[in-house]
Amino acid sequence: MRKAMIVAPHPDDAELAMGGSIAKMIEARWHVLVIDLTDGEPTPFGSKQIRRSETDKASRILGITSRICLEMPNRYLQANLENRRKLAEVIRLNVPDVIFGPLLQDTHPDHVAAAQLTDAACFEAALHKTDMKGPPHRVSKRYAYYSTHRCLHDRPSFIIDITDFWDKKIKAIGAYDSQIKNKNPLDGGPLLEKVESTCRYFGQSIGCKYAEPFVAHEPIALKSLDRLLD
């Protein structure tokens, strides 16, 4: 069974960035583990209890059965040694084949720290001669997803068609009712409208209705020439 780990700065970031791809992985019988680094609070219309309930609902919609919150401080997330070790231990104990995290360039400091933490923890998880829990584990593939905070988008390394999973993605995002009430001036409009326009844009670029973009940390190897035509 393929194992994917998605590292999210806050609950809802995984759904916003790659909810369709998560649902697609789960239908393909991948094991998907979502790591929320923080609980996302405080926010204007949320609370710890509300966010927990919303996160549980969103997970049920997408079919996520494994989700962990590492309880790092929201708004003050730091890529420090303590947090790096926490995430590295989760990687060692869960041995994912692939890890997704935020793209480094971002306007939200927590997202920047999460991207740095993900990279550093992947390196640390492979170390020997350490008292960290779990055996050394080297993640073979690492990819970055785009945050809704980004106003400009770099050229992606690959784009996943999520047309068949669009309804699940939108319903999962809708579970975070307390967050949809927030309107970020950088969004240029309601959150769901921005998500839809972004996914439509990337969908049109590959000839489908909706899609999600990703950036690879290393070149993508093709072991079969047939994959050039997929």
pLDDT in tens, 149-166: 776 677 999 999 999 999
Q: What is the CA radius of gyration of the chain?
A: 17
Q: What is the pLDDT of residue 183?
A: 56
Q: What is the pLDDT of residue 151?
A: 66
Dump the DSSP string for the chain.
--EEEEEESSTTHHHHHHHHHHHHHHHTT-EEEEEEEE-----TT--HHHHHHHHHHHHHHHT--EEEEEEEPTT-----HHHHHHHHHHHHHH--SEEEEE-S--SSHHHHHHHHHHHHHHHHHT-SS---SS-----SEEEEE--TT-SS-PPPSEEEE-GGGHHHHHHHHHT-HHHHT---GGGSS-HHHHHHHHHHHHHHHTTSS-EEEEEESSPPP-SSGGGGG-
Neighbours of 23 (CB within 10 A): 25
Q: Helix crossing, 166-174 with 13-27: angle to 10°?
A: 140
Q: What is the pLDDT of residue 60?
A: 98
pLDDT in tens, 25-46: 999 999 999 999 999 999 999 9
What class does CATH assign to 3-229? alpha beta
CA 104 to chain centre: 12
Structure tokens at 96: 């994912």
Q: Is the pTM of this model over 0.85?
A: yes
Q: By percentage, how much of the chain surpasses pLDDT 70?
A: 95
Q: Higher model confidence: residue 221 or residue 134?
A: 134
Query: Does residue 186 register a pLDDT over 90?
Result: no
CA–CA gap between residue 10 and residue 14 (Å, rounded)? 8
Q: What is the pLDDT of residue 185?
A: 43
Q: What is the pLDDT of residue 187?
A: 45
